[in-house]
Amino acid sequence: MVSLRIRKKLGYSVSTVNGDALNKAKETNVALSLQGRVAGLSVGASNGGPGSSARVLLRGLTSFTAGSPLYVINGVPMDNTQRGASGEWGGADYGDGISNINPDDIESMTVLKGQSASALYGSRAVNGVILITTKSGKKNSGFGIELNSNIQFDKPVDNTDFQQVYGQGIQGNKPTTLDAAQASGNLAWGSKMDGSDVMQIDGKMHKYSPVNNYIDFYRTAPSFTNTVAFTNGGPNGAFRLSLSDLRANSIVPNSYLDRKTFNFNGSQQVTPKLTINVVANYVLENSKNRSGLSDGPGNPNNVQFLAPNQDQATLAPGVKPDGKELTFTDDSYVTNPYFAANYFQKNIQRDRFISSLSAKYDLTKWIYAQARIGYDKSNDQRVDIEPTGTAYRNDNGTMNQSNNQITEFNADALINAKHDLVKDFLNLDLSIGGNIRKSSYTGTFINGQNGFIIPYFYSLTNFTSRSSGPLTDDPFSKKQVNSAYYSADFSIKDYLVLSTTGRYDVYSTISNSVGRGIFSPSVSGSFIFSELHKMDGVDLGKVRLSFAQTSNDATAFANTVYYNLNNSVNGVPTAGFSSQLPNLFLAPFRLKELEAGLEMKFWGDRLGFDLAFFSRRTKNEIINANIDWSTGYTNRYIGTGSTQNRGIEVEIHGTPVRNSSFSWTPSLNFTYVKNKIIQTDGITNDNVSLGTYRPLNANLALVAGLPGPQILAYDYQRDAKGNIIIGDNGIPVQGALKPMGSTIPKMYGGLNNSFNYKQFNLGFLIDYRFGAKVLSATEYYSIFRGLNKSTLPGRETGVVAQGVLANGQPNTLNVPAQTYYQGLARNISASNVLNGDFIKLRQVTLGYTFNAAALRGTPFSSIGVSAVARNLWTIMKHTKNIDPESGFSNDVRYTGIEGTSLPFTRTYGLNLNFKFKN
Amino acid sequence: MKKRYIFSCLVAGATFMSSCTKNFDEVNTNPNKTTAELINPNYFMSQAQLTFSQTGYDQLLFQSMWVQSLASTFSYYSNGDKYVLGGSGTGYYNRTWNRGYSALTLVDEMKNLIKGKPEYTNLDACGSILRVLFMQRITDLYGDAPFSEEGMAKAGNFTPKFDKQQDIYAAMLSQLDAAINALDASKPAPTTDLFYKGNIPQWKRMGYSLMLRLAMRMTKVAPDMAKTYAEKAYAGGTMSSVADDVKVMTDPNNNTSSNSDALLVPDDFREVRWAKTLIDYLQANNDPRVSAIAEITNGNGKRANEDRTTPGINTASLQLGMPNGYDLLGGATDISKAPGYPGATPAVDDKDAPAPDGRYSRPRLRVYADKGSANFIYTYGESELLLAEAASRGWNTGVAATHFANALAADMKSLAGYNATPTAVVSDADIATYVAAHPLLPGTALQQINTEYWVATSTTFDFNEAFANWRRSGFPVLTPVSYSGQYITGQLPRRMPYPITLPQTNGANYNAAVASQGADNFATRVWWDK
């Protein structure tokens, strides 16, 4: 855990984002604020409401199981476990580890992109490392108080552009009975809307004309953050203590996130040689009614597919007079949105304590020893209630509760020596250290059985029986990694640096017979040519080159055959085993990376750029491949995967104007990454299936030779001349499953501008991405349900599809529109693969700072007022009915899959910052 | 001095590290699971039997309505009722496949664990019989499928070849024969057997009945082989009373009946009905089973129709089957347009709505929606019917008329075994009257036998078997449903397409199977159905 060495000398690429960029216009998950700010970094979210997880990918899809970078707070790795995401069968996003961190406590975030940096952090650093430095007291600063208040409003945005001609109904008829109305609430296959009276779900007659107000189901949701921080610094020590309270409301009624954080950061020089540092961060989070996503059950977002004439208010309050759910479609698994929002519960409560204690002792002027212990522990309690009256349940509803504990323990010790081997010419900076990391995820669950005895009484006591037990499978995990490492920097004067690092990791998840230990070396060099040869106007000129290798371990318990007991049958025991085939020969996978860079600064830093080229490739990746049940298992672990990423990162910054009252500082970053799956299982190179969407007729997969994750969708079947082949039912025949493009962007980045005029400052960030595809369930449903504009032709006359029959004759079969488009949606999923490119105005902040002169006579030393906004304007997009960033899961296997999640939101707010005089 | 410092730290560090890795095997051991040394292999047998029996939606969505035993106006059931994909459509193709192979893998693992252990001879033989039982259902529905290379992932085969159904049948017969011969009542019995509580003579009879069923499946394509094995089975001794019925009683608390789970879903409860074809047939024959299996909603209106707590009225004369192929969508195929539509039951108050399906007979609540009811797999009555058919064909399997009479009585008696507390009870007097009134007539023997087979397997909710035997025998004669947007038109399905993931998970072998067997659709006939 050598902290960043003198940055100027580094032989690899890093970027830093200051807290200012993160804590004025806030995201409840601070990782989302990094979007567009750092070359090489792409950030995605799941539309699950406040506190949802972030998908942060550095330099493309690093490996088959790529995930977020390792977050290291003040030198100690923190846990970033994903607490449950939704998939094709629904679920909710219960947040990740980084979402607990209070942005107001962050001084800066530094992104270490290359593997040379990662060699020092071990296995989880294959996805890169983000160093978080929290705010601290400064020596001799004296006592200070700072208060920051923030209020923001999330406003839901309707991105749909559905047809407004035909109303609710089926096969060309509007509903005439209550039954028919309640069976077709999300079908717009009715007749032409003519303003006549029509029976609606609430049993009343309404006008058969467009209202199109589903977005009114959502609310403009305020969120409040108040942070007060106390700092003090004397000659021998300093501290900062902050208390923060966040209340973030979701745009879904009844859903919110409450977060209280206490952060303490103190350092004390105990003796002239010994310094002790303590960091303690306590997080109390209470998240109420996480929104169901993706699939229908318990999902309030089903509201998005109402027919154009349907007033969303007719679904309120979600129950019938008898207290049971008021259903609005013929599928009881499509929950009434009001019922989902008002009665379902998906709550999670988290207590988390992230602490670290470190001591640094100066043995001599040039040698110090450092020991550090870090412990991160979360207790999560999750309660899911399916209430009494739920239409799809055959009992009085049910309740599940789980209590999970996640821990991450790190102990490390190192000795550092800095010494001139040849005086004033050759210097050695050497660190040698060791690290022990233990992590675990354990838990227990209690599930109610046979439904509540007493309706509406939601307690685990209210069941005739309960099933309970410990977690037995993933995410249940226990791991330990012991490591030893060194880093040695040889520098010749100040212009030539050669660094080498080495790390030996021993993994508990790898079996002894295979060999648990693996060595990961790196070597990097930087040459600051501007030091050697001064050039006019050139402040810095540096070339760098590095090569590194890292490794990553396997899932816990994956190399042993285990058997588990199942529920008994009338007292007779039963047992089984996982359908996941264990692999007794799992070995750690390796990642090799070569990076070259050029960094230059000109004219007193008026202009500068940093250019990096990287090429990285994995070997022996452990993948969990799908196999057919007829093999006896559904999945298997296999260590044969290989992924390649090559790319360029450019960061350009400048200060075109800078004078006493005005300055303009633009910066631009650009990333191009070319990903390629080199090998999957190594034998047949079959696709590795990843996630899918609820319509199930397309999925993501890793396809050898193509960038991952690749969308596989069914296209039309065509004859030799390219004509579409039509089946004998008049509907185009399903063709082959085809790769349709990757869901991870090829090009992305941002343009940030910051203007300062006297006490005013204005900043805005534009970000963009190109070359990413989206697999859209919204598109599927809007075709299947007659909402999409493409379903307009043939409503009155029926559809005669253009194409040929199997016998080669032109098709003449006329099919009713509903039958045709529903068949088409089922057969042809290629039409749900959309272009996900966009350019967005991501963030704008406009601030005014009152200076000391203006505050004379007040207790304040400074007051800052900022108007802030996020996601203000989508400058360019190609998707017609969705926001291209929509998604329901942050899991990389579901990247770019969207459908039935919360709508995109715009955020406006005000940030006030008070610093008290000391 | 300083160097010594550093050196001693390094040594200390290295020692520390190596000592800490000693417990790594323990760290990487899952404390909540066990391994081969401790597990009782019997428990895999009970799990396999349960898994195999919990068919639920696997067959309710398709086979139950293909054979016109059940009918539904609900869109989810359009898969079977109208030959129109509903719900996740193609995603359901894999259900019977996956259930079959997941049960097989449990038995395979059990057999691996007890290999070479003489004290488990009977468990091993029962395992072999179960493998045949499980495999027959898979191949009957899909045709060619992996059998010789099935369940070999652990041995490194992830892409098993598909065996031709003809070869599967030959292999099943020889394996079954060997397994029956290996059963030995003097040796320890399986301890957690959900079929027979470890009764070896019953297993033997079940084994021979299974041999009989395999044999009779081949009457169209390999009559000689069918005869050989049918006679062999008869000589060996098949199931001899309803006590031999193969079934699993589910557990109302921890492993509820998957049929009840499905039927108790509000939509299903409201709109799944016995089919007109079945009820008409039963009533035309004055079959006393009508009031054992069917009831109409007690009370008018939708609320009563959705009430999953009040049993209906099972008076035989009030029962009415719903025709297949209708919906509630208000169009030409709305149930109200069905010939003989009895009308909706009216709303009882202003908070209620009419129940369009309210006058059609549903599967009885206390019988079929009982959470601890039986999952029938194979009955004595079915075995007797197969013997009756074999005898009618002139094979040496006893007297056809006797077997047929046995079967009629048994099929009615078996229903009482559907629930822990007998509910679907047909009185002995009614049975006797019916049996006397329905003697087997030589001219119509095959029709009588196989139609009764259809009734028996429908009333025990074993629609897999109803569908297989209908395809083989052609009885009863069923008229295909017509509806717009069908996946098969003008005929009934003859097969289930393979799981849609197979082209990805086992592409080459899948393609070879399709090339050999014929297009992967609902129309291609399996080998014994040619």
Residues of A in contact with B249 (CB under 8 A): 569-570
CB within 8 Å of chain A, chain B residues 70-129: 74-76, 85, 87-91, 94, 97-98, 101-102, 104-106, 108-109
pLDDT at position A866 over 90? yes
- Residue that wins the pLDDT comparison between B254 and B473: B473
Residues A60 and A104 in one domain: yes
Tokens 């910066």 sit at which residue? A667
Of A176, A506, A567, the CB nearest to B254: A567
Task: State the pLDDT at residue A474.
Answer: 84
pLDDT at position A124 over 80? no
Best of B8, B20, B30 to substitute, by most chain A Cβ atoms within 10 angstroms, is B30
The answer to whether A876 touches A839, Cβ cutoff 8 Å, is: yes
A1 in a structural domain: no
Q: How far is B388 from chain A (nearest CA, A)?
A: 35
Residues of A in contact with B21 (CB under 8 A): 482, 506, 508, 516
**Domain CATH number, residue A528:** 2.40.170.20
Residue ranges, comma separated, of all CATH 1.25.40.390 domains in chain B are 43-258+371-524
Task: State the pLDDT at residue B14.
Answer: 57
Residues of B in contact with A632 (CB under 8 A): 101, 104-105, 108-109, 150-154
pLDDT at position B15 over 80? no
Of A173, A577, A626, the CB nearest to B330: A173
Which residue in A has a C-alpha nearest to residue B355's C-alpha? Answer: A179
A307 in a structural domain: no
Q: Give phi and psi for A601, each to the nearest 5.
A: -135, 140
Residues in CB range of A534: below 8 A, 6 or more apart: none
CA A817 to chain centre: 39
Q: What 3-state DSSP class applies to A580? A: strand
Task: State the pLDDT at residue B330.
Answer: 77
Task: State the pLDDT at residue B3.
Answer: 52
Residue pLDDT, tens place only, A466-522: 989 999 888 899 999 999 999 999 999 878 999 999 999 999 988 888 888 888 899
Residues of B in contact with A680 (CB under 8 A): none
- Judged on CB neighbours under 10 Å (0-12, 13-18, 19+), A63 is buried
A 10 A CB-CB count for A369 gives 18
pLDDT at position A736 over 90? no
pLDDT at position B501 over 50? yes
Of A659, A691, A723, which closes a domain? A691
Residues B32, A471: C-beta atoms closer than 8 Å: yes
A382 in a structural domain: yes
**CA nearest neighbour of A644 among A591, A712, A686, A710:** A591
Best of B7, B264, B307, B329 to substitute, by most chain A Cβ atoms within 10 angstroms, is B329
Task: State the pLDDT at residue A63.
Answer: 87
Residues B30, A560: C-beta atoms closer than 8 Å: yes
Residues A607 and A681 in one domain: yes
**CA nearest neighbour of B75 among A521, A32, A431, A329:** A329
A836 in a structural domain: yes
Paired strand residues for A608: A601, A653
A324-343 mean pLDDT: 93
Domain assignment of residue A80, given as a range = 7-153+221-298+344-392+399-465+480-691
CA B55 to chain centre: 5
The answer to whether A702 touches A64, Cβ cutoff 8 Å, is: yes
A188 in a structural domain: no
Paired strand residues for A835: A773
Q: How far is B232 from chain A (nearest CA, A)?
A: 31
Q: What 3-state DSSP class applies to A7? A: helix
Q: Which residues of B287-305 are buried (b: 16+ CB within 10 A; e: fewer)?
A: bbbbbbbbbbbebbbbbbb
Residues A660 and A796 in one domain: no
Residues A630, B35: C-beta atoms closer than 8 Å: no
A602 in a structural domain: yes
- Tell me whether strands A698-702 and A710-716 are parallel, antiparallel or unpaired: antiparallel
A197-205 mean pLDDT: 93
Residues of B in contact with A479 (CB under 8 A): 27-28
Of A691, A722, A748, which closes a domain? A691
For chain B, the average pLDDT equals: 94
CB within 8 Å of chain A, chain B residues 332-361: 351, 353-354, 356
For residue B416, what are its two tokens? 């009482």
Domains: count for chain A: 2
pLDDT at position A5 over 50? no
Residues A95 and A235 in one domain: yes
Task: State the pLDDT at residue A494.
Answer: 79
B100-109 mean pLDDT: 97
Tell me the C-alpha distance between A567 and B342, whole Å.
45
A 10 A CB-CB count for A392 gives 19
Paired strand residues for A648: A613, A672
Residues B265, A394: C-beta atoms closer than 8 Å: yes
Residues A686, B351: C-beta atoms closer than 8 Å: no
A869 in a structural domain: yes
The answer to whether B374 touches B200, Cβ cutoff 8 Å, is: no
Residues A492 and A610 in one domain: yes
CA distances from A222 to A73, A422, B122 (A): 29, 63, 69
**CA nearest neighbour of A36 among A895, A873, A843, A867:** A843
Q: How far is A327 from chain B (nearest CA, A)?
A: 11
Residue pLDDT, tens place only, A12-68: 888 899 988 888 888 899 999 999 999 999 998 888 999 899 999 999 888 888 888
Of A322, A450, A686, the CB nearest to B253: A450
* CATH topology classification for B43-258+371-524: 1.25.40
Question: How many beta-carbon pairs under 8 angstroms link A with B?
Answer: 275
A697-709 mean pLDDT: 92
Residue pLDDT, tens place only, A658-675: 999 999 999 999 999 999
The answer to whether A81 touches A74, Cβ cutoff 8 Å, is: no
Of A176, A568, A628, the CB nearest to B502: A628
Strand ranges (E), A533-629? 538-552, 564-569, 572-576, 580-581, 589-602, 607-619, 621-626
Tell me the C-alpha distance between B413 and B382, whole Å.
12
Task: State the pLDDT at residue A583.
Answer: 79
The answer to whether A892 touches A55, Cβ cutoff 8 Å, is: yes
Residue type, A790: S
Residues of B in contact with A575 (CB under 8 A): 39-40, 43-44, 47
User: By percentage, how much of chain A surpasses pLDDT 70?
Assistant: 98
- Tell me whether strands A70-73 and A76-77 are parallel, antiparallel or unpaired: antiparallel
Residues A779 and A658 in one domain: no
Residues B32, A564: C-beta atoms closer than 8 Å: yes
Which residue in B has a C-alpha nearest to residue A701's C-alpha? Answer: B504
Residues A243 and A274 in one domain: yes
B468-481 mean pLDDT: 97
Q: How far is A568 from chain B (nearest CA, A)?
A: 7
Q: Give phi and psi for A317, each to the nearest 5.
A: -85, 15
Residues A486 and A620 in one domain: yes
pLDDT at position A3 over 50? no
Tell me the C-alpha distance between B530 and B524, whole Å.
9
Q: Give phi and psi for A126, each to the nearest 5.
A: -60, -25
Q: How far is A587 from chain B (nearest CA, A)?
A: 14
Residues A624 and A565 in one domain: yes
Residue pLDDT, tens place only, B255-294: 999 999 999 988 899 999 999 999 999 999 999 999 999 9
Of A170, A367, A632, the CB nearest to B153: A632
As a residue count, chain A comes to 918
pTM of the model: 0.85
Q: Give phi and psi for A833, each to the nearest 5.
A: -95, 115
A 10 A CB-CB count for A662 gives 12
Whether B9 and chain A come into contact, CB under 8 Å, resolves to yes
Residue pLDDT, tens place only, B120-142: 999 999 999 999 999 999 999 99
Residues B267, A330: C-beta atoms closer than 8 Å: yes
Task: State the pLDDT at residue A516.
Answer: 86
The answer to whether A842 touches A820, Cβ cutoff 8 Å, is: no
Tell me the C-alpha distance between A327 and A322, whole Å.
13
Task: State the pLDDT at residue A7.
Answer: 63
pLDDT at position A461 over 90? yes
DSSP conformation letters of B271-314: HEEEBHHHHHHHHHTT-TTHHHHEEB-SSSHHHHHT-SSS--B-
Which residue in A has a C-alpha nearest to residue B44's C-alpha? Answer: A575
Task: State the pLDDT at residue B18.
Answer: 56
pLDDT at position A10 over 80? no
ipTM: 0.91
Q: How far is A128 from chain B (nearest CA, A)?
A: 25
Tell me the C-alpha distance between A252 and A158, whole Å.
14
| Confidence band for A723, pLDDT divided at 50, 70 and 90 | very high
Task: State the pLDDT at residue A114.
Answer: 80
Residues of B in contact with A565 (CB under 8 A): 34, 43
Which residue in A has a C-alpha nearest to residue B26's C-alpha? Answer: A508
Tell me the C-alpha distance between A740 and A734, whole Å.
15
Mean pLDDT is lowest, of A138-142, A282-286, A380-384, B212-216, for A138-142
For residue B289, what are its two tokens? 């089973």
For residue B120, what are its two tokens? 């488990």
Residues A696 and A686 in one domain: no
pLDDT at position A1 over 50? no
Cα-atom radius of gyration of chain B, to the nearest Å? 26
Residues B17, A320: C-beta atoms closer than 8 Å: no
> Hey, what long-range contacts does A847-851 have (CB within 8 A, 24 or more apart)?
A847/A24, A847/A760, A847/A761, A847/A762, A847/A911, A848/A759, A848/A760, A848/A761, A849/A759, A849/A761, A850/A759, A851/A759
The answer to whether A218 touches A18, Cβ cutoff 8 Å, is: no
Bond before B476 cis per omega within 30 degrees? yes
pLDDT at position B6 over 60? no
Whether B33 and chain A come into contact, CB under 8 Å, resolves to yes
Task: State the pLDDT at residue B366.
Answer: 96
CB within 8 Å of chain A, chain B residues 400-459: none
| Confidence band for A2, pLDDT divided at 50, 70 and 90 | very low
Residues A40 and A17 in one domain: yes
pLDDT at position B17 over 60? no
Residues of A in contact with B30 (CB under 8 A): 472, 476, 556-557, 560, 562
pLDDT at position B85 over 80? yes
Residues of A in contact with B248 (CB under 8 A): 569
For residue A681, what are its two tokens? 């299982």
User: By percentage, how much of chain B surpasses pLDDT 70?
Assistant: 96
DSSP conformation letters of A842-854: EEEEEEEEE-TTT
As a residue count, chain B comes to 530
pLDDT at position B4 over 60? no
Residues A139 and A274 in one domain: yes
The answer to whether A488 touches A497, Cβ cutoff 8 Å, is: no
Which residue in A has a C-alpha nearest to residue B147's C-alpha? Answer: A630
∠ CA A837-A701-A50 to the nearest 5 degrees?
Answer: 55
Residues B371, A450: C-beta atoms closer than 8 Å: yes
Task: State the pLDDT at residue B87.
Answer: 81
A501 in a structural domain: yes
SS3 content of chain A, % helix, strand, coil (to 5): 10, 50, 40
